[in-house]
Structures are given as structure tokens and as C-alpha cells.
Structure 1
């Protein structure tokens, strides 16, 4: 909860601050438009993060899904998992690679998908994502050995 509050408040503060600067200390017109655009974008990202982090990621025997029913990945389609220190993954999370690609989706602070790569984590507690990745690795090992 602390990470969620810190992330949402930080983005909101950034957005409000940029919009405030654009009106109170207006720079050249082009820069003023830029500040307004970035400020509004930060506020939009704040709202997207607020909505996304209100949800949870669920692991079932057949799929990894968002609580709203969005299927993130099917367990049978997962080819590999990367939890390494230098992996391109969300903080406190892990990276999955699937056999088939899917549409790009992003739940800020929770998960993202770009084609065949899926990142789980961000504002999630490290202990929970580590536990989920361990269970998922065991499910993949069982699947691969035919048990």
C-alpha cells in the first residue's frame, strides 16, 4: 500500500507542479504548451496507476490473469521466466516469455505485455511476486516433465 500511495502521489504532484509552473511562471509559448502536455500526461498516468494498482494478479492452474478477468498468459504458453538481477523486468517482479504474442497492454505498477514478453511486478510486494514466480516455475517444471 505504501508504494501505491507514494507512486500515485508522486505522479500527481509532478503533474500539478508542471501545470502550476506553466501558468504562474510562463516560459515561451512552446515551452508552456510542453509543460501543460507533460503535466496532463502525468495526471493521466497517475489515474491509470491508481486504477491498475487497485487490482491484483491471480495465478490459477491454467492461467495468469488480472482480477478483472484479463488473461495475461496461459501457463501452457509460457516458454521461460527470468528473475535475474539484470533482466529487463519490473522492480520486485519477473519477466515471462510466451510462445505466441498478444496485444500490447499496460497496467502501470502491476504488469505489462509487449508481444511475447510479459513483466509482472512494480508496486507489488517482492515477497508476493517471488512466491508467485516460484509456484509458476514449479508448474512449468511439472508441465515440462509431463507430470
Structure 2
């Protein structure tokens, strides 16, 4: 286990917590995901310029989507160095940015039919959270936070199990 560290949350409060579980993207998965996005974006831009469709609108759409996919690949390349850490207080990024505090979580779902990232799980919160996205690792929309994507399934499953245990423990201790 990782040593205790002091981390500042959004309110400026110090949180000193032991890291119980981590999720990070592996090198091979990162390279594969980024390569696929770069190839897709490159092929779309190439086709739009080398053999453009008859209608100018379709050419602009292909260029726009191709450039958008290339921008997404670059965002994913930068974002994949992020590591998620779970403590008894919160799920946070290694740098200290808090994704969600444990007392804000209603449920953790990693079922087969859950709307979740590949190899991951989804967290349902009590109240809507601000929209945020770290391509390939996590996203947050409304009351849902998805963790997974290019992260190994073993790490995500372990983190979800630990979160569920903390939530169950907290529910048992309340009157």
C-alpha cells in the first residue's frame, strides 16, 4: 500500500488518507487506443482530401470528424498519465483533484448490463456532479461517474469491490 499523503480537496481542506486502491492505464492499452484513434483520424482526413466526396458538405464533415478524432487522440495521450486513487474519504486523481467524496456515492455498479466504460464500473451519486472527462480513464456526467476504458479490468474490479465494501461498512454503522 502507498504511504499516507496530504491532499487538498476542492474546498481547500486537507485530506490525509491511506490509498486503498489505484487504477491507471497500462502501456500496451494506451498505445493501442491512441494508435487506433490516430489511424482513424488520419484515414478520414486523407480520404476527405485525396478522394473527396461529390458534395462539399460531406467533405467538410469528414475533415471535421477526422480532426476531432486526432484532437481526441492527443487529449487521451496527455490524460493517460493520470492515476486514480481510492481512499476512505474520496476517489481522486493522484495530483489531488477529487472526483467524488465517498459520502456523495449512492451505489457502485459493475454489472454486465450497466452503462459503464469497458473493463470498468459506474458510480451513481446522490446529486448531479459537474461535467468532466479524462479520455480513456474516467468521465462524469450528471449523477454518473464512469471509471475504466483502457484501465485493466483487475484494477477496476478491485477498486469497485473496495468502494462497495466501504459503502456497506458505512451503511452498517449508521443507525
List gaps (5 residues or longer) in structure 1: none
Divergent runs of 4+, >2 A: 67-70
Aligned to 1:128: 155
> Equivalents in 1 of 2:36, 2:137: separation in Å?
17
Match of 2:50 in 1: 24
- 1:107 matched residue in structure 2: 134
- Which has the larger share of helix? 1
Aligned residues: 147
> When the two structures are superposed, what TM-score results if normalisation uses the length of structure 1?
0.95
State the match for 1:40 in structure 2.
67
Structure 1 CA distance for aligned equivalents of residues 169 and 82 of structure 2: 29
CA RMSD of aligned residues (A): 1.2
TM-score under structure 2 normalisation? 0.80
Q: How does 1:1-147 map to 2 (within 5 A)?
A: 1-28=27-54, 29-146=56-173
The 2-side partners of 1:98 and 1:33 are apart by: 40
- 5+ residue gaps, structure 2: 1-26
